[in-house]
Amino acid sequence: MPEVTDNWRVTQLSNRNYLSPIGFKFIVTKVPKADFFSNSASIPGINLGFAQQPTYLRDIPVPGDKLTYQDFTLKFFVDENLENYLEVHNWLRGLGYPDSIAEFGQLKNEDKYIQDPSGRSPYNEYSDASLLIYNSSFNVIAKVNFKDTFPVGLSAINFDATQDDIKYVTAEATFKYSIYDIETFVEVPQLDRVTVTNKTPTVTLTSTASGDLDPTQNFSLQYTSSNVSSLSINQSVGSVAVGSGSVPMTSSVESAKATVVDSLTTSITYTITGVGTNGTNVTASHTVRFKRPQTSVNRVCIAVIDESQGDTYKEMEERWVQFRANWPDRHFYLLQPSDRSSGGMYDSSIIEDLHIPPSFLEQTDPDTTTVDTEPPD
């Protein structure tokens, strides 16, 4: 979707006056007398060729790669001595030399307005021309520069003694040229920034935290983004600057908001949301884990015992269930010193020596270890 600055002036006309058809002056270096009396001129039209791409539904026009320029036509009042008319006429005679090739030589060597310092005239059949355009205050606002101009036509001069009123004689000269450029002299407001973007927005979110973080050790959230117009992070972090950056976090505050994972850790998940310049949203998440403070509720318990045959399995099971009910978040480790050189961790003789409660075995390895029956007393 387009993204445009608030520079509204760029979409408005800087000058609301209409262009005047009489505000012009045409200059042809080779025929200055004709342009002095000019009364009509125009910026020639241009056309771009195109091709038709056939399809089974309809043909599709495709832009071509060649411009064609229309002829330039100059109308001017003919002076009483025919000087300006003869300027164009003699130019045409020199190019066509209908009577003698010497006429072309005269065109090259007798040009009063275009002089070649080297002494070698570069075929003075060409001349540069300019069309000056004036605004309503008669200031030049644009200049149309024609390159390699030469005449290809000159109209007839008509005399008519039956006219009721004097209508001064005008002539029309037609010119060819290689190309023209339009040069402007007014400052037109430009767009400070106009972008049309459909690029996919992206965001990433990481942190400086490594492993389970001590609540006394602070950390920072780190993010990157592209093609977004705004960014925000949840968990009361709020809006952040577009691009990339880092947000310092206080672990004591953040750990208080964390969710319990187990008896030893908690975690909190942060999500960054970016609003894309194409109108879509994108998110990324990152989880930080904290160590839980060791208290009587979640402290680690380690029992070291070689045998416990004074109680039955039933009694040991009842005690373990009651222990777990009282302290569900404590981590419990059972260690048994042994001088045996063989036997697995849950060897049946070891289980019998300690009378390990079945529920304890289920918690430590619920997929593989089960005690179905109590051995005889």
Question: β-pairing, 245-249 with 238-240?
Answer: unpaired
CB 304 within 8 A of CB 338: no
- Please report the pLDDT score of residue 298 as a whole number: 72
3-state DSSP assignment of residue 207 = strand
CB 217 within 8 A of CB 251: yes
Dump pLDDT digits (tens) for 314-343: 888 888 888 888 888 777 778 777 665 555
363 has pLDDT over 80: no
Angle at 331 between CA 330 and CA 335, to 5 degrees: 135
Helix intervals (H) in 53-126: 83-96, 102-109
What mean pLDDT is predicted for residues 163-169? Answer: 81
- Please report the pLDDT score of residue 292 as a whole number: 81
Which of 27-31, 61-65, 188-192, 321-325 shows the lowest per-residue confidence on average (mean pLDDT)?
Answer: 188-192
Evaluate the CA torsion angle 205, 209, 211, 216 in order and state its sign.
Answer: negative
Which of 110-124, 167-181, 221-235, 261-275 shows the lowest per-residue confidence on average (mean pLDDT)?
Answer: 110-124
Query: Which residue segments constitute the domains of the chain, with CATH numbers given?
Result: 2-184 (2.30.110), 197-291 (2.60.40), 300-364 (no CATH)
30 has pLDDT over 90: no
What mean pLDDT is predicted for residues 157-178? Answer: 85
Nearest to 331 by CA among 269, 268, 267, 261: 261
Answer with the residue of higher pLDDT: 189 or 306. Answer: 306
What mean pLDDT is predicted for residues 5-30? Answer: 65
Answer with the residue of higher pLDDT: 30 or 124. Answer: 30
Is residue 262 very low, low, confident or very high in pLDDT (cuts 50, 70, 90)? confident
Torsion of CA 134, 137, 141, 146, to 10 degrees: 10
What mean pLDDT is predicted for residues 87-103? Answer: 80
Question: β-pairing, 212-213 with 281-291?
Answer: parallel
3-state DSSP assignment of residue 314 = helix
Nearest to 305 by CA among 353, 252, 341, 238: 353
Compute the distance between CA of residue 84 and CA of residue 369 in angstroms, rounded to an integer.
Answer: 117
Evaluate the CA torsion angle 153, 154, 160, 164 in order and state its sign.
Answer: positive
Highest mean pLDDT among 92-96, 291-295, 298-302: 92-96
Cross-strand bridge partners of residue 335: 304
- Please report the pLDDT score of residue 14 as a whole number: 61
3-state DSSP assignment of residue 108 = helix
286 has pLDDT over 50: yes
Q: Considering the chain, what percentage of its residues have pLDDT values greater than 90?
A: 18
Answer with the residue of higher pLDDT: 23 or 200. Answer: 200
Dump pLDDT digits (tens) for 345-355: 545 556 667 77
Q: Considering the chain, what percentage of its residues have pLDDT values greater than 70?
A: 77
- Please report the pLDDT score of residue 283 as a whole number: 94
CB 25 within 8 A of CB 50: no
- Please report the pLDDT score of residue 312 as a whole number: 80
Average pLDDT taken over every residue of the chain: 78
Compute the distance between CA of residue 316 and CA of residue 323 in angstroms, rounded to an integer.
Answer: 10
Is residue 375 very low, low, confident or very high in pLDDT (cuts 50, 70, 90)? very low
- What's the gap between Cα 326 and its chain centre? 62
Evaluate the CA torsion angle 315, 319, 322, 324 in order and state its sign.
Answer: negative
How far apart, in Å, are the Cα atoms of 51 and each of 58, 61, 241, 327? 13, 6, 50, 85
Dump pLDDT digits (tens) for 202-248: 999 999 998 888 888 899 999 999 999 899 999 999 999 999 999 99
Nearest to 142 by CA among 180, 186, 179, 178: 186
- Please report the pLDDT score of residue 376 as a whole number: 42
Is residue 287 very low, low, confident or very high in pLDDT (cuts 50, 70, 90)? very high
Answer with the residue of higher pLDDT: 113 or 268. Answer: 268
Type of residue at 3: E
Nearest to 170 by CA among 94, 79, 254: 79
- What's the gap between Cα 83 and its chain centre? 61
